[in-house]
């Protein structure tokens, strides 16, 4: 573009501005004229309670329909109250209203698109704000309903989970009690104790240690964890213990009470029936003795009980016996056993039977 072209462009703009300065904005419902569109809009709002901007927004009027609307009102001269009642553009949709009624109508220069772009503008008495408010309220209501449903669902889940957890916990307690009951019942019969007492290596090892170490037991308070027939309690009493408490959760405890009495050691030994973990001791003890070993040393699972007693019932400088043990392993091969168990299990028929 040349500089002369530029200059002529600018002069065109200036002339247009001068022209529009002479134009007047004519009211839609009277002969009143105004210097600016805004003044004219303000007049219609004050005098006829007609907010043209809000009306444009409400009916979503675009540029063409705006031109048609202005010309329609100027041509047909409807009452302001009728215009305000309009809910659609149907009355001024005809193309004939594109034809200006007032020559150089300043109102036709109003930028409708700009109004829509700025529709975040808050109109206090227009429909735009009310529409937005209604939509927002509806959304809030839907969100509240959805929240209520979610809370109900969560409550249902919580109840179901609680039911399932309680059920599982109950099952575990029942299983634990049944397992424990079975275990202690197996020690209630004298047969098993007879077998243990007859195990010479076992019984004599304990006897030798206790009887040959009176300095450990002299005047000591001794706890015999899982006393059974009370054999270790009686050995401890013989070795000089001041007080011995023997505890066993199996019914053999009742026989132990008789045995202690018959051996006239009831002034030293007290037998209690119950779980060592639940025992209520007036004071801590100096020595803990226990025969807790099972097959493969740990099979009885009684070591935990003894360690519990050590941690909770033993004086800080107290002693626990036995205090050492070891497991020895040796490899062996048994072809016959391997054939009958492992190989059989690997055959599909066999594995199905085993399942
Ligand atoms: C291997 S026997 C030893 C019995 C006896 N001390 C002996 O040497 O002949 C283990 C004993 O500990 C008892 N026992 C196991 N766990 C116990 C616990 N938690 N509380 C009380 N007694 C338990 C059993 O009932 C059983 O009579």
* Domain stop point among 99, 114, 129: 114
Q: Is residue 51 part of a domain?
A: yes
Q: Please tell me the residue having the least CA distance from ligand 1 atom 17.
A: 226
The reply to whether 206 and 94 lie within a common domain is no
Neighbours of 235 (CB within 10 A): 22
The reply to whether 204 and 95 lie within a common domain is no
Mutate to test the pocket of ligand 1, among 226, 281, 288 (most ligand atoms within 8 A of CB): 226
pLDDT at 210: 98
The reply to whether 315 and 201 lie within a common domain is yes
Mutate to test the pocket of ligand 1, among 194, 223, 228, 274 (most ligand atoms within 8 A of CB): 228
Quick one: average pLDDT of 45-62? 93
By mean pLDDT, which of 35-44, 162-171, 312-321 is the weakest? 162-171
* Domain stop point among 114, 134, 157: 114
Quick one: average pLDDT of 83-95? 92
3-state secondary structure string, the chain?
CCHHHHHHHHHHHHHHHHHHHHCCEECCCCCCEECCHHHHHHHHHHHHCCCHHHHHHHCCCCHHHHHHHHHHHHHHCCCHHHHHHCCCCHHHCCHHHHCCCCCCCHHHHCCHHHHHHCCCCCCCCCHHHHHHHHHHHHHHHHHHHHHHHHHHHHHHHHHHHHHHHHHHHHHHHHHHHHHHHHHHHHCCCHHHHHHHHHCHHHHHHHHHHHHHCHHHHCCCEEEEECCCCCHHHHHHHHCCCCEEEEEECCCHHHHHHHHHHHCCCCCCEEEEECCHHHCCCCCCEEEEEECCCECCECCCCCHHHHHHHHHHHEEEEEEEECCCCCCCCCCCCCHHHHHHHHHHHHCHHHHHHHC
The reply to whether 315 and 216 lie within a common domain is yes
pLDDT at 336: 87
Mutate to test the pocket of ligand 1, among 181, 187, 191, 312 (most ligand atoms within 8 A of CB): 187
Quick one: average pLDDT of 66-93? 94
Per the structure, the count of domains in the chain is 2
| pLDDT at residue 241 tops 50 | yes
- Residue 135's pLDDT band (cuts 50, 70, 90): low
The answer to whether the beta carbons of residues 224 and 233 sit under 8 Å apart is yes
- Residue 130's pLDDT band (cuts 50, 70, 90): low
| Residues spanned by the domain of 106 | 25-114
Who wins on pLDDT, 221 or 149?
A: 221
Q: Which of 145, 170, 171, 300 is catalytic?
A: 300
Who wins on pLDDT, 18 or 151?
A: 151
**Statement: the pTM of the whole predicted model exceeds 0.75:** no
Q: Is residue 156 part of a domain?
A: no
Residue 256's CATH number: 3.40.50.150
The reply to whether 202 and 304 lie within a common domain is yes
Which pairs from 341-348 meet CB under 8 Å and 24+ separation?
A: none
Q: Please tell me the residue having the least CA distance from ligand 1 atom 15.
A: 226
Q: Is residue 345 part of a domain?
A: no
Q: Is residue 285 part of a domain?
A: yes
pLDDT at 16: 47
- Residue 83's pLDDT band (cuts 50, 70, 90): very high
pLDDT at 186: 84
The reply to whether 99 and 211 lie within a common domain is no
Is any atom of ligand 1 closer than 6 Å to the C-beta of 226? yes
| pLDDT at residue 255 tops 80 | yes
Q: Is residue 129 part of a domain?
A: no
Q: Is residue 96 part of a domain?
A: yes
Share of the chain above pLDDT 90, in %: 52
Q: Is residue 92 part of a domain?
A: yes
- Residue holding tokens 């540029």? 63
Tell me the backbone φ, ψ of residue 248, rounded to 5 degrees. -150, 140
Q: Which of 76, 291, 336, 339 is catalytic?
A: 291
Q: Is residue 337 part of a domain?
A: no
Is any atom of ligand 1 closer than 6 Å to the C-beta of 210? no
- Residue 124's pLDDT band (cuts 50, 70, 90): very low
- Residue 4's pLDDT band (cuts 50, 70, 90): very low
- Residue 6's pLDDT band (cuts 50, 70, 90): very low
Ligand 1 centre distance from Cα of residue 288 (Å): 13
* Domain stop point among 92, 114, 136: 114
Mean of the per-residue pLDDT values for the chain?
85
Ligand 1 centre distance from Cα of residue 315 (Å): 22
Is any atom of ligand 1 closer than 6 Å to the C-beta of 273? no
Pick the closest to residue 65 from 52, 50, 46, 78 (CA basis). Answer: 52
Query: Which pair of tokens denotes residue 92?
Result: 């001024």
Is any atom of ligand 1 closer than 6 Å to the C-beta of 126? no
The reply to whether 201 and 302 lie within a common domain is yes
């Amino acid at each position: 573009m040349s500089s002369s072209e530029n200059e002529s462009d600018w002069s065109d703009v200036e002339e247009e501005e001068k022209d529009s300065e002479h134009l007047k904005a004519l009211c839609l419902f009277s002969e009143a004229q105004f210097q600016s569109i805004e003044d004219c809009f303000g007049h219609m709002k004050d005098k006829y309670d007609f907010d043209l901007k809000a009306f444009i927004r409400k009916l979503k009027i675009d540029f063409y329909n705006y031109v048609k609307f202005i010309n329609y009102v100027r041509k047909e001269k409807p009452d302001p109250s009728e215009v305000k009642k309009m809910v659609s553009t149907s009355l001024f949709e005809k193309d004939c209203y594109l034809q200006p009624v007032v020559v150089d109508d300043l109102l036709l220069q109003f930028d409708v698109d700009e109004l829509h772009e700025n529709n975040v503008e808050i109109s206090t008495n227009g429909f735009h704000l009310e529409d937005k408010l209604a939509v927002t309220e509806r959304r809030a209501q839907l969100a509240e309903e959805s929240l209520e449903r979610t809370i109900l669902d969560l409550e249902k889940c919580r109840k179901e989970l609680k039911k399932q957890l309680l059920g599982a916990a109950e099952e575990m307690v029942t299983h634990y009690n049944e397992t424990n009951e079975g275990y202690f019942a197996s020690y209630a019969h004298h047969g098993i104790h007879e077998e243990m007492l007859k195990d010479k290596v076992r019984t004599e090892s304990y006897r030798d240690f206790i009887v040959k170490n009176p300095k450990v037991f002299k005047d000591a308070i001794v706890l015999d964890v899982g006393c059974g027939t009370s054999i270790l309690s009686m050995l401890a009493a013989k070795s000089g213990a001041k007080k011995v408490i023997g505890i066993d959760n199996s019914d053999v405890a009742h026989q132990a009470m008789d045995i202690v009495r018959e051996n006239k050691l009831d002034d030293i030994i007290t037998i209690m029936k119950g779980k060592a973990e639940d025992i209520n001791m007036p004071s801590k003890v100096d020595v803990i003795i226990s025969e807790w070993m099972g097959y493969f040393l740990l099979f009885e699972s009684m070591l935990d009980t003894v360690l519990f007693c050590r941690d909770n019932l033993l004086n800080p400088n107290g002693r626990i016996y036995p205090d050492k043990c070891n497991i020895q392993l040796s490899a062996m091969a048994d072809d016959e056993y391997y054939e009958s168990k492992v190989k059989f299990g690997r055959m599909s028929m066999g594995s199905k039977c085993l399942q």
